[in-house]
Structures are given as structure tokens and as C-alpha cells.
């Protein structure tokens, strides 16, 4: 009886990995076990590893391949290229055994009949037995062919998949990770196509790919077939969904970033080609490729798949998933799913930080999307191809430690990428194959710079920093940096809760790994300055100003949003939500905007709406703005953003803080405006804190305490206003000292008044981390929480622990 060389995907499971490879095994497992949850997975069949073995045996290729591999010179790119080409050519020239050929044709005809088509369109994907293992990412090492139709195209594509087991990248990758080339078999997946050429497609991860933060789904997508997102040849849209609140029924999309999406891959009707790349219209480029409903549906499916694999493996199993939306039916499909292989394999609990020297003069040459969190340095070496056929630099001469600068890498470039100190590309997103490979190799990469190959010159010495958030920076010259490693398990536990001051939403997921009791201060100013960039009143009134340049800039900023107000509310809510989700369900105290007039005027269009003040530090700032006729509506948009975070996204761990509030009357007026725009103390558990930074806040502490849920001491302003000095003036900087007796006495008085009314008091200034004696004073006075910047967190924990330990010993004596 002849062997069965094809199996319907409904017949295979994960336990069949050695027979059908990782991709097929995973698809079959999902079809059988996850379909009941409503997850759509296209049908298909697997051509088994035994079929691959039979093909090699029939054509007597096994010994020929072994001989060529034995003569391969390791780490020699010329030898690698020559060997790979010869092996692939041998396989492509092979003939099909009759029985095997007939089984493949029969299975294809059955699949076509299932979809009521004579010769249905399919994807032909390689499925290696080492692919998608939990300890190595073989994703993208072999080939995929799309829009394949008819038995002859199927057979040609399958044979090409067999050959792709020996692409240069696959050979190099196996060498690099110690896999035996002949221990790996190849199966092929024949799967019904989803007409995403008329819709959209992309990649989704069930974690944050840079920090490994577990509680989000990261989605990248673009128009057309998904290969362009996977390959990184398009800058995709990006969406982030918070899993815990989504599972509670909230619409918790906490981030939306629009990519360029200039081109898309579609079906080709041209002879000899299966697909082609066409331009995307300008209108579509200015829209997100999928709706919020589709984002949430996809995120829910990702969680279902992650939960299933986690239960099946008995340990957390984050997933790397490819998805597609059929443009004809509008239905969403999962077309691939594999275990994530980087963060899930990290065993230690160490915090490793790459810290750029902030004291050095730095000139930013270029920005892009950061991949990883490291820093790399070296000389620029631009490449446009691996073989130099286009007249550019030849990859065989790429020096170890150079910075690779190119249009876009792909997995073929792996032999060069592993020699680079850093990688910079014009195109791509942080979920493409090249980014995954760079991340796995520990090479910092900045992708999607758009014009890196134009701006950077060969031989330039540069520093590539991925250690400062999602925004990767390329600095001119070699900038000093440090690597700090902390064993988190060795940190002591303090009695006083230590919270974090978090400015950048882009760093929130990374900071969430640091031991903390929540966020004591998240400033809206940073979010407005970086996420919104325009003055809120300029957004609302720019068309009335007659400034065409301003209007054009605002139109570019707000593309993809219904109107300017929606842009402000949603962008601010995304920034706040990203911080709140990183620390959920711990308390996150968000301070409403506290720009001064000279700072507001620097925002886009701000010059039209800001007064010129002699001393902005004690002028029109904080609470005074919120209820003013001129600014009330702008503050109302802030309230709408916070309401959206808490009530639509479900992040009720957000506490609001009012800054620079001079009087009880001011606070009550602010409450009136907040209520008008949907925020009310106590409603849905909303707590409101007051920034205690004015002498009036201290002197009237008991009266303020009746109207709030807590104080947060702003020691910077409290010091300058208690001592009557301008902290920005260098002439009197020597007087500025948070440890001054007058300042400490004010804090003591506040703590006493707060205790009498059972009101919480924290501090969010830098003093406790800079001065151990000041920290000791706060602990002894009974401060409820201390909040410091992340770079001070570890030393503050140790200092507070020592103070508490010393105090406990003294009490016992």
C-alpha cells in the first residue's frame, strides 16, 4: 500500500510536528480546538515531511546536498551564497515521483471543490519541523507563494518551497543556532487564500515585542496581502489593546499610530507573475487600514489563541500571529500562529538598562521605530543588495561592528545582520521578520526612518539608541553610555510604598518591570508636547487665523481622525492609557496640564493664544486656566480624554491631580468645569488629588482635605514659593534647597493636618532620591508614599529600606 503524502489540516495536531512541520501542526490544532470560539481559519492540506524525503530520494539528492554542505566554509558569505544556490538549483530541477504528484493534485482538487471553485487560489507555505519551536524563531526562513492556482503552479511552488530549506538565510540561521541541517524536514502548507488583496492583513503579537510586557496585544497592519508587513517593505498602522480590560468588556484600544502604507500587494493578472505591488491612493493612506471593531475582534482572538496554547503547554505561551481580512466578505481570518520565541524564553529576572550619557552634547541625525532596548555604535556602511549587483557595497566585505544602513533588510540578510553593531532601515515596522531576527540576535535596530540612506554617509561614526522609548534615535558621533544590571530578586522590600514618576508613555511598558507601587506622577504636559504637539486652542481655531502654514501642519497631524477635537481627546487618552495600562490595576496619578504661558506658546500655534507674562512661573498656570473663559473648553477636552480612559477603556486605576490650585474657591470652580465635561469626584470611583506646592495649600490643608482624596507634595514649587525664589534663576540657585527648615516644617504641618482628616499624602519630587537625609525626614514624619523617577528607583528603594531598618532597630532599643 502506498504511503499517504498529504493530510487535510483538520487531521493534524501539534503532536504531528515531526510529520507536518510547525506551521501545519499549529493550523490543524487551531482548526480542531479553537474554531468553536468563532475564530476563522482557512482550510487546506499539508504535504508531509515524508513527501519531501521521497522527493529527495527519488532524485538521489541526499548525498549530493551533504557533499556540498561539507565543503561550506562557515561565516564566509561567498561560500554560503555559492553553496546555497547550487543546492537550490538541484532541488528545483528534480522530477516528481508519480504517486506523490497524483496525491498532491487530488488533494488540491478536493480543496477547490470545498470552496466551489474549479481551481481555487491558495497560499503555498513552507512548514519546517524546527519552525515555530518555543526556543528558536524559524519564521521567514523558508518561502511562501501567494495566489497560486492550478495543479502545475502548485507543484512548481511546492518544489520551490523544498529548495528554500537551503536559502542562504536558512543555512546561516541553522549554523548560528546549532541546528543540524539534516535533522530538519520540510512539509508544505496548501491553504485557501483570504482575499486580503482587497482588504487588509498583518501581524499580531500577544505581548509588547520590545519590553515583553504581557498585558497587551500589539497589531500591525496594512492594505493588501500581508507579506509586505511581514517582510517590512511597508510602514504599517499600529494598534495596541489592553488585555485585562478588554476581557472585562471595555473597548480598550490604548494606542493607534498611522503608518504610511504607500504600496500594497495584490493579485496579478500579468503572465508569469502571481502577485504585484501597486500604489495606495492618498485617501486610503490617510485612513487606518482596519476599524476599531476589527481591532478588538482580532485582539480577542489573539487572547483566545494565547490562552489555549498556554493551557496546552502548562506555561505562559505568548503568540506571534498572522491575520487577514477578506475584502469581499469583510470577514477576519487567522492564517498562521506560532509561539513567540524571544521574551517567552527569558529565564532571569535581571533588569538590564542601557543609559545614554545625558551630559554629552548630542545631535540627533535621524529618528525611527526602535527595535529592542540597546545602544549600538560604529561606522555607517550602506548596502542596497547582498551581492553588489546594483553597484553598491558588497555584503561579503561588511566589517564586524559596522552599522548596517539600508532600504530594508529581509531574512536573507541574516549573515550580515549578525555582524552589525546596529541596523538602520528606511522601511519596515517593529513586527516584520527582519525586526524579529534583529531582536533575537540582540542587535539594536531602528526601522521606518524613511530617509536613513540619504541622510547618513558611509564612514560616519554614529550612535544608535533604542534605549529611550519607541522612538529610536541616531546620534552624530560616538556618545558615551552605560550598561546597568540589577538583580530584581535581590532588592529589599520597603514598608513605605515607592511609586514611579513616568513622563513618557513610550517607556511605560519597560518601566512596569521595575518594582513599584504604581505611578505617583504622570504629567499631561509630556503627552501633549510629544503626542499632540499643537496648542489645544490652535487645534480648535486655526482656520480662523488665516495662517495657511499652521493649518497645513495641523491637517497633517490630525489625519485619520474625524476632527481636531477628536484628535486631541483620543491622542491624549492613548498617552494616559498607555501609562495606566502598564501599571494596572495599581494607582496611576495623572496631573492635569500645567504648562506655563511661555511653554504653551512654544506649541504649534501657541503664539496666537498665549499672553506675554513677566513671571510665568507664578502666572496663568494650573487651576487658574481651567475655569477661565479663554481656556475652559481646552481643559474640557482634557476631561473628556480622562473620562474616555476610565469609562471606555476601563482603566479606573487613573486618579486625577489638580496642580497649582491657589484657593478653595478655585478648586470648587475647577470641580464645576470638570463635572460639566463628564468628570465628577466619586463617580465610578474617581479620586482627585491636589498638588501641594503652594504655601496656601499648607496653611489651608484641613479645608482642602475636605474636598479631595489626597495630597501630592510638589517639592520643587513648594521650595521656591516658600523661600521666595525663582528656581530658574542661576543667581540665587545656591539658596534653593528642599531640606531647608522652612520647607520641611511646611511638609510636617501638611502631614499633621492630613492625618487629622485621614487624607493620604505622597511626594513626587526628586529630593528623596537625591538626599538620603531628606528621605529619612519624610519616612520619620510618616509620608504615605514616595514617588521618584525610574532612574532613581533602585537606589531609593535601598536608601528607604536602610532608613526603615535603622529606625526599627532604634525603636527596639
CA 311 from centroid of its chain's CA atoms? 25
The whole model's pTM is what? Answer: 0.88
**Average pLDDT, integer, range 395-401:** 79
Predicted pLDDT at 85: 92
Confidence label for 389 from pLDDT (cuts 50, 70 and 90):
low
Model confidence at 523: pLDDT above 90: yes
Predicted pLDDT at 138: 45
Minimal CA–CA distance to 487: which of 212, 798, 788? 798
**Average pLDDT, integer, range 374-398:** 75
Confidence label for 36 from pLDDT (cuts 50, 70 and 90):
confident
**CB contact at 8 A, 634 and 540:** yes
Model confidence at 347: pLDDT above 70: no
Dump pLDDT digits (tens) for 430-481.
Answer: 877 778 778 878 899 999 898 999 999 999 999 999 988 888 999 999 999 9
**Average pLDDT, integer, range 752-778:** 88
Rounded CA-CA distance 149/119 in Å is 6
**What's the alpha-carbon Rg for the chain, to the nearest Å?**
30
Predicted pLDDT at 303: 98
Confidence label for 596 from pLDDT (cuts 50, 70 and 90):
very high
**Average pLDDT, integer, range 291-302:** 98
- Listed range (46-50, 134-138, 304-308) with the worst mean pLDDT: 134-138
Cell 539658596 found at = 735
Confidence label for 92 from pLDDT (cuts 50, 70 and 90):
very high
Rounded CA-CA distance 709/792 in Å is 27
SS3 readout for 412-427 = HHHHHHCCCCEEEECC
Predicted pLDDT at 271: 86
% of the chain beyond a pLDDT of 70:
95
- Listed range (80-84, 135-139, 219-223) with the worst mean pLDDT: 135-139
Model confidence at 809: pLDDT above 90: no
Q: Which residues, listed in sequence order, are joined to residue 449 by a DSSP beta bridge?
A: none
CA 70 from centroid of its chain's CA atoms? 42
SS3 readout for 235-256 = CCEEEEEEHHHHCCCCCCEEEE
Model confidence at 605: pLDDT above 50: yes
- Listed range (197-211, 651-665, 733-747, 764-778) with the worst mean pLDDT: 764-778
pLDDT, the chain, mean: 90
DSSP-derived 3-state class of residue 274: coil
Predicted pLDDT at 136: 46
Model confidence at 410: pLDDT above 90: no
Model confidence at 210: pLDDT above 80: yes
Model confidence at 752: pLDDT above 80: yes
Dump pLDDT digits (tens) for 54-63.
Answer: 999 999 998 8
Which residues are identified as catalytic? 433, 764
SS3 readout for 704-733 = HHCCCCEEEECHHHHHHHHHCCCCCCHHHH
Model confidence at 403: pLDDT above 80: yes
Model confidence at 395: pLDDT above 80: no
DSSP-derived 3-state class of residue 15: helix
DSSP-derived 3-state class of residue 474: strand
Pairing of strands 237-242, 216-223: antiparallel
Predicted pLDDT at 135: 43
Confidence label for 245 from pLDDT (cuts 50, 70 and 90):
very high
Minimal CA–CA distance to 439: which of 477, 407, 411? 411
Dump pLDDT digits (tens) for 652-682.
Answer: 999 999 999 999 999 999 999 999 999 999 9
Instruction: Tell me the three cell numbers of residue 231.
Output: 517582510
Contacts (Cβ under 8 Å, ≥6 apart) of 744: 777
Dump pLDDT digits (tens) for 493-508.
Answer: 999 999 999 988 988 9
Predicted pLDDT at 491: 84
Predicted pLDDT at 307: 97
Amino acid at each position: 500500500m502506498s504511503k499517504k503524502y498529504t493530510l487535510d489540516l483538520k487531521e493534524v495536531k501539534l503532536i504531528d510536528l515531526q510529520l507536518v512541520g510547525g506551521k501545519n501542526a499549529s493550523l490543524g490544532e487551531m482548526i480542531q480546538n479553537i474554531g468553536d470560539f468563532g475564530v476563522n481559519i482557512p482550510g487546506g492540506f499539508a504535504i508531509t515531511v515524508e513527501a519531501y524525503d521521497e522527493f529527495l530520494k527519488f532524485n538521489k539528492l541526499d548525498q549530493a546536498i551533504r557533499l556540498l554542505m561539507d565543503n561550506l566554509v562557515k561565516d564566509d558569505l561567498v561560500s554560503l551564497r555559492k553553496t546555497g544556490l547550487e543546492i537550490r538549483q538541484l532541488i528545483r530541477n528534480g522530477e516528481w515521483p508519480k504517486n506523490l504528484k497524483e496525491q498532491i493534485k487530488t488533494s488540491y482538487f478536493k480543496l477547490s471543490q470545498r470552496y466551489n471553485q474549479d481551481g481555487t487560489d491558495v497560499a503555498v507555505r513552507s512548514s519546517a519541523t524546527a519552525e515555530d519551536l518555543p526556543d528558536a524563531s524559524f519564521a521567514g526562513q523558508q518561502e511562501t507563494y501567494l495566489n497560486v492556482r492550478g495543479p502545475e503552479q502548485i507543484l512548481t511552488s511546492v518544489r520551490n518551497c523544498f529548495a528554500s530549506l537551503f536559502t542562504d538565510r536558512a543555512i546561516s540561521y541553522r549554523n548560528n543556532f546549532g541546528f543540524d541541517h539534516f535533522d530538519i524536514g520540510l512539509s508544505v502548507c496548501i491553504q485557501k487564500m483570504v482575499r486580503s488583496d482587497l482588504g487588509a492583513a498583518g501581524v499580531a503579537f500577544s505581548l509588547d515585542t520590545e519590553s515583553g510586557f504581557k498585558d497587551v496585544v500589539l497589531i500591525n497592519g496594512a492594505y493588501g496581502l500581508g507579506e509586505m508587513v511581514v517582510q517590512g517593505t511597508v510602514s504599517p498602522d499600529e494598534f495596541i489593546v489592553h488585555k485585562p480590560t478588554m476581557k472585562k468588556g471595555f473597548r480598550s484600544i490604548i494606542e493607534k499610530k498611522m503608518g504610511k502604507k504607500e504600496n500594497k500587494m495584490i493579485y496579478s493578472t500579468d503572465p508569469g507573475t502571481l502577485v504585484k505591488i501597486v500604489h495606495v491612493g492618498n485617501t486610503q493612506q490617510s485612513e487606518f487600514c482596519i476599524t476599531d471593531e476589527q481591532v478588538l475582534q482580532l485582539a480577542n482572538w489573539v487572547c483566545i489563541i494565547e490562552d489555549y496554547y498556554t493551557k496546552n503547554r502548562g506555561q505562559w505561551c505568548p503568540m506571534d500571529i498572522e491575520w487577514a481580512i477578506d475584502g469581499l466578505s469583510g470577514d477576519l481570518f487567522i492564517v498562521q500562529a506560532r509561539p513567540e520565541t524571544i521574551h517567552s524564553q527569558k529565564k532571569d529576572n535581571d533588569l538590564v538598562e542601557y543609559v545614554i550619557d545625558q551630559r554629552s552634547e548630542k545631535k540627533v541625525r535621524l529618528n525611527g521605530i526602535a527595535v529592542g532596548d540597546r545602544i549600538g555604535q560604529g561606522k555607517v556602511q550602506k548596502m542596497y543588495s547582498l551581492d553588489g549587483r546594483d553597484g553598491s557595497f558588497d555584503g561579503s566585505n561588511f566589517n564586524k561592528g559596522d552599522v548596517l544602513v539600508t532600504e530594508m533588510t529581509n531574512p536573507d540578510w541574516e549573515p550580515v545582520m549578525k555582524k552589525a553593531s546596529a541596523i538602520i532601515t528606511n522601511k519596515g515596522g517593529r513586527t516584520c521578520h527582519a525586526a524579529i531576527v534583529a531582536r533575537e540576535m540582540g542587535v539594536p535596530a531602528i526601522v521606518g526612518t524613511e530617509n536613513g540612506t540619504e541622510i547618513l554617509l558611509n564612514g560616519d561614526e554614529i550612535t544608535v539608541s533604542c534605549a529611550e522609548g519607541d522612538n529610536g534615535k541616531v546620534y552624530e558621533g560616538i556618545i558615551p553610555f552605560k550598561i546597568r544590571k540589577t538583580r530584581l530578586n535581590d532588592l529589599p522590600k520597603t514598608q513605605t510604598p515607592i511609586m514611579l514618576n513616568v513622563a513618557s508613555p513610550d517607556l511605560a511598558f519597560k518601566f512596569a518591570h521595575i518594582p513599584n507601587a504604581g505611578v505617583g506622577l504622570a504629567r499631561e504636559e509630556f503627552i501633549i508636547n510629544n503626542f499632540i504637539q499643537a496648542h489645544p486652542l490652535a487645534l480648535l481655531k486655526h482656520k480662523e487665523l488665516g495662517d495657511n502654514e499652521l493649518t497645513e501642519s495641523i491637517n497633517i497631524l490630525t489625519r485619520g481622525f474625524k476632527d481636531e477635537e477628536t484628535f486631541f481627546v483620543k491622542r491624549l487618552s492613548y498617552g494616559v492609557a498607555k501609562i495606566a495600562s502598564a501599571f494596572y490595576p495599581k494607582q496611576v496619578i495623572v496631573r492635569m496640564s500645567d504648562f506655563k504661558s511661555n511653554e504653551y506658546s512654544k506649541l504649534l500655534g501657541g503664539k496666537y493664544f498665549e499672553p506675554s507674562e513677566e513671571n510665568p512661573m507664578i502666572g496663568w498656570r494650573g487651576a487658574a486656566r481651567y475655569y477661565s473663559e479663554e481656556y475652559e473648553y481646552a481643559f474640557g477636552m482634557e476631561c473628556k480624554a480622562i473620562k474616555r480612559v476610565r469609562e471606555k477603556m476601563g482603566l479606573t486605576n487613573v486618579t486625577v491631580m489638580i496642580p497649582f490650585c491657589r484657593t478653595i474657591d478655585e478648586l470648587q470652580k475647577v470641580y464645576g468645569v470638570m463635572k460639566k465635561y463628564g468628570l465628577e469626584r466619586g463617580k465610578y470611583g474617581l479620586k482627585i488629588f491636589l498638588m501641594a506646592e503652594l504655601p496656601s495649600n499648607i496653611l489651608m490643608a484641613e479645608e482642602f482635605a475636605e474636598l479631595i482624596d489626597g495630597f501630592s507634595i510638589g517639592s520643587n514649587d513648594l521650595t521656591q514659593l516658600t523661600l521666595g525664589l525663582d528656581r530658574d534663576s542661576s543667581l540665587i540657585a545656591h539658596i534653593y534647597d528642599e531640606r531647608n527648615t522652612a520647607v520641611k516644617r511646611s511638609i510636617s504641618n501638611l502631614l499633621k493636618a492630613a492625618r487629622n482628616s485621614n487624607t493620604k499624602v505622597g511626594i513626587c519630587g526628586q529630593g528623596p532620591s537625591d538626599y538620603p537625609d531628606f528621605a529619612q525626614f519624610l519616612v520619620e514624619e510618616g509620608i504615605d508614599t514616595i514617588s521618584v523617577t525610574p532612574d532613581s528607583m533602585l537606589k531609593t528603594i535601598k536608601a528607604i529600606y536602610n532608613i526603615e531598618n535603622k529606625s526599627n532597630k532604634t525603636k527596639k532599643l
